[in-house]
Structure 1
Amino acid sequence: MTAASTGTDLDAFIEEWHVWHRAQEARLAEPHGFLAITGLHWLGGEPERFDGAPGTWSTGPDGVAVTLGEGEEIVVDGSPVRGEHRFGVLPERGGVTVLWGDAAIEVAKRGGHDIVRPRHPDHPLRTGFAGTPAFPPDPRWVTTGRYVPFDEPRPTTVGAAVEGLQHVYDAPGRVEFELDGQALSLTAFNGAAPGALLVLFTDATSGVTTYAANRALQIDAPAADGTVTLDFNRAANLPCAYTAFATCPLPPAENRLPVAVEAGEKIPYEHG
């Protein structure tokens, strides 16, 4: 494992972690963030009205459509819309967000199903958010690993926070590393930035001090020799740790670590 030295380096390490953690909490608690979601609605062929959203919603071969009632209006790409609006066929893990007063209506596709999720800033889960507990940052949980790419990306099916739902991700490779003297590895998915990686995992703390279903760790793009840095202090909760209206993926079976990773974010107050 790598370790920040005492003094200035350690102080900088701790401060950088606090900056990261505050940013995590700020994104989660944005006015239309995940804490503002008031429902998860699955669309079908018959038009249906949902709490917290205008109009009647349906989906079919031509994609998602909404028919707004008398006096109802949404804003799509900055333009007001009345009557009927067609969103077309949405890509998997894609979606659009429209505005309705001070609320946002997310229209998306998850696990092959079209969904609508209203997001209201005054939702009690958001207004009562007290932050996320976490282990104190400790350099002992920073380790150097090696990225081993697969010959071809492997389509990997994983479960979801919603029972019966599945996600399929292309896994470009795995990350090999050591923790507490044990040789370990994690199947990696593509991260948010080009070349970056994302690992979903559980460990011996899952369901005890950390959220049972999953945590996520972002890894910067590997160096030319495949070297990567894993900072488990930045192991983060996914939205499903806070709300039942999230469809987060679960880790692949091989990403269940046999060690206790006492680092990163803990079970949220909202879930405890």
Structure 2
Amino acid sequence: MSTPENAQLERWLRFRNSRNTALAKEHGWLTLTSLQWLPAEPSPLELVPGLWSTDGTKAVLTAAAADGLTLVETGEPVEGTLTASLANEESLMWVAFGGEDGRRVVVELAVRGDRYAIRTRDSRSPVFTEFEGVPTFDYRPELAVLARFERYPEPVDVPIGTANPLVDGVHRSAGELVFRLPGIDHEYRLQAEEGKLGALTVTFHDKTNGETTDDWRKVETGRPRPDGTVVLDFNRAINYPSAFTPYGTCAMPVRNNSLDVEIEAGEKAFDIQPAG
């Protein structure tokens, strides 16, 4: 007979399997090989064919047929000049090239910090081809704690840093999750962002950062119950994409989202320099 503890563990193992499967997606976060800001004048960039530029309002790509670029969405060859416009924080998988099928590398167009950039996503990146899953701590049922969500009257935009020192971010704090941890005699409060369906995301520091875990992590919850309670399960703490690549622009925690204890649950640090 399955016990509640076994059922929790089984659900967590399914979560871990889904998480690793999602990370191993072709042209996902494990395949990033560069982040390059677009110049004002048409210029060649590293790792990509063609000439690239921006006037601040749109990105411009000029390529010849011999460059072998195709549009990701349609597969049509790129010959001549293309433009694309994005809002801040938007991304577009724009063009592809290389490999037998012409899609080994996908070039992502992005706007970060109101600046246009491209990121190359190479399906032969060793970080991707040698991926065997993210290391984790063992499952700890006591670190799935009951929290109370205290909503602010209105969301508050808090300026934050990101994994890229050239990019500033904003954390839209919808309220605070209030909870206690086993063996600790004081209460914790962490600011949370709210998704479209009411789920909450908490980005946090703890005492394991820089030792056994990345510099920060995040954990998502379900939608709070009518009484405001929600399960905050630190076993489901995961790394941001910047833990897997130096080319991420992931949001840091707000200043007060730091726990004065070691949260030895969830994902550990990932070695982005694979063996071999």
Q: TM-score, normalised by structure 1?
A: 0.91
Whichever residue aligns with residue 192 of structure 2, its letter is A
Structure-2 residue corresponding to 1:136:
138
Tell me the SS of whatever aligns to 2:153: strand
Tell me the SS of whatever aligns to 2:118: strand
Instruction: Give % identity.
Output: 33
Structure-2 residue corresponding to 1:205:
208
Structure-1 residue corresponding to 2:9:
14
Aligned equivalents of 2:166 and 2:49: distance in 1?
Answer: 28
2:232 is the counterpart of 1:239: no
Judging changes above 3 Å, is the alpha-carbon distance between structure 1 residues 200 and 227 closer, same or farther for their aligned structure 2 residues? same
Residue-pair matches, total? 264
Deviations 1:46-79 (A, max 9, x none): 2222233232211224311111134233214225
Tell me the SS of whatever aligns to 1:185: strand
Where structure 2 has 5 or more consecutive residues not aligned to the other structure, the ranges are: 97-101
Structure-2 residue corresponding to 1:194:
197
Tell me the SS of whatever aligns to 1:208: coil
Contact 1:175 1:185 in 2 (8 A): yes
Contact 1:133 1:269 in 2 (8 A): no
Deviations 1:73-115 (A, max 9, x none): 3214225132111112x12221110241222111111222211
Indicate which of 79, 82, 85 corresponds to 2:82: 85
Indicate which of 84, 104, 115 corresponds to 1:113: 115
Structure 1 runs of 4+ aligned residues shifted over 4 Å read none
Tell me the SS of whatever aligns to 2:238: coil
Structure-2 residue corresponding to 1:29:
24
Whichever residue aligns with residue 107 of structure 1, its letter is L
Judging changes above 3 Å, is the alpha-carbon distance between structure 1 residues 78 and 221 closer, same or farther for their aligned structure 2 residues? same
Contact 2:113 2:166 in 1 (8 A): no
Aligned equivalents of 2:94 and 2:107: distance in 1?
Answer: 5
Q: TM-score, normalised by structure 2?
A: 0.90
Tell me the SS of whatever aligns to 1:65: strand
Contact 2:149 2:230 in 1 (8 A): yes
Judging changes above 3 Å, is the alpha-carbon distance between structure 1 residues 41 and 61 closer, same or farther for their aligned structure 2 residues? closer
Whichever residue aligns with residue 82 of structure 2, its letter is H
